[in-house]
Amino acid sequence: MKAAIYVRVSTLEQAQHGFSIRGQHERCLSFVQSQGWDVERIITDDGQSAKNLDRPGMQELIEGVKNKEFDVVVVYRLDRMVRNVFDLHQLLNMFDEHGCSFKSVTEVFDTTTAMGRFFITIVGAMASWERENLAERVKMGMSRMVKEGRWHGGRTPYGYMYDGKQLVVHDEEASVVKMIFDKYTNGIGAGKICRDLNEQGYKPRKAKIWDVSLVHQVLKNPAYMGKFRYQGELHDVYGLSIISEHQFETAQKIRKARADKHPRRSGGKYIFSGMLRCARCGSRLNGKYNTSRTNEYYTYVCAGKNNGICDLPSLNEKYVEEQFIMQLEEIASEYEAQSQVAMEEQVEEEKIRDDIERQINSIKKRRKKWQEAFANDVITLDELKERTADDNEQLQELEQQLHEIQEKEEDVSNVDILTVTENWSVLSKEDKKVTVEVLAEKIIVNAENGVMGRGRKRKMWIDDIFFL
């Protein structure tokens, strides 16, 4: 059999325990000769630690085994080769895969005998046990971090960066995230948003340009409202929200509306398809398409008129649009003064919210210190319970205050839907349709009767809009 002798020693071990390279050479060489094996190569790692397999000599040994240059690997003692049960299990599997045996001169680790292989099986079981233990400890540690409102690791989302200790908001990217959500919740589609971003020179983190899929990755990520997903559940990570929870939920509502009721699948080219109701008979108005030599017309006809129970005239879509926007502008003007006051209050509440979040983080850090103090016998179990109970009481009160502020912020942010009027003229018909579906449940319409003379526009109006 062709044998490879592997010897290793670190400088510290040689000084403290006398594990000399020469001594290992002699013992291993004597053993190989006693077995009648041929020494194919002696591989040495001098002054190298066994904390991992990243050693010049070890890499040479692994390469030789894979090339089937040796039939058996001989070491003076197991810890000369590895100190980690994972690495041992990895090496033994690799040896077995390439038909190479393993023998420790001073121990029972010997894959050339039945007893030796039995001990190797035990090592494999130990490796599995340690691996599962490590996974469980990592899982527990990450769960604790999440419960304490800290970043649990993983790929850093766009809009954030890792400063070596914790996740923090990346100001430049966060402004892009806000821009995406502001545009989307004001009726602008993902295609138009990515074109705007590219035209204005904004760059995504890895791709060369923004595309629709990247915009949707941002829109559906709950991280931007300060909630990070871990094991299928959302957890609050304080101080990392870029947008409000209400704006995020509004974006999800729009995304669902676009997915479930895309204009090409629901009413095609009609902005108000399925939304208009007759003020006279309560029937639904259906879209109708007409053309002339120079123009095309989109109109809405009451279903009751077709059934002979209603006399509501046909409505031109252009006029319905005008009335719809006028209604929104009236609502916007009514709330203008209120929204200004609300925005001023929101600035103050944001300061209060930041202070509350700092207090919450401080309490969570303090609770961790109490636990460490108990573990080190600095305080008793009763003292730990007492201090933890005080902290929990304060934490519950602060979280309630934070929840109340967040609810107020949601009420204030309702005003952002009304800014649709500013963007309406630049929206495509598809975007207009989705915007209407997100804003309203139904729109009650009416119009004057009679035959209109040439050049005279039929007067029509909206009796009511039932907002969602």
Q: Are 42 and 7 in contact (CB under 8 A)?
A: yes
Q: Are 79 and 28 in contact (CB under 8 A)?
A: no
- From the centroid of its chain, how far is CA 243? 15
Between helices 245-260 and 429-439, what is the axis angle to 10°? 120
**What are the φ/ψ torsions at residue 84 (nearest 5 degrees)?**
-115, 130
Instruction: Give the strand pairing for 315-316 and 440-447.
Output: unpaired
Q: Is the dihedral of CA 113, 119, 125, 130 positive or negative?
A: negative
Catalytic annotation present for 10: yes
Residue keyed to tokens 């208009």: 276
**What are the φ/ψ torsions at residue 221 (nearest 5 degrees)?**
-90, 115
User: Count of CB atoms within 10 A of residue 203's CB?
Assistant: 13
Residue 82 is which amino acid? V
Q: Are 177 and 242 in contact (CB under 8 A)?
A: yes
Residue 278 is which amino acid? C
- Using DSSP, state whether 139 is helix, strand or coil: helix
Return the DSSP state at 273.
T
DSSP bridge pairs for 6: 43, 75
- Name the token pair of 142: 């990450």
What gap in Å lies between CA 39 and CA 2, rounded to an integer? 6
End-to-end CA distance of the chain: 82
Q: Which residues of 232-241 are buried (b: 16+ CB within 10 A; e: fewer)?
A: eeebbbbbbb
Residue-wise DSSP of 6-66: EEEE-HHHHHHH---HHHHHHHHHHHHHHTT-EEEEEEEEET---SSS--HHHHHHHHHHH
Residue 438 is which amino acid? V
Identify the active-site residue in 10, 266, 314, 428: 10
Alpha helices in 72-113 (DSSP H): 78-81, 85-97
- Using DSSP, state whether 167 is helix, strand or coil: strand
Instruction: Give the catalytic positions in this structure.
Output: 10
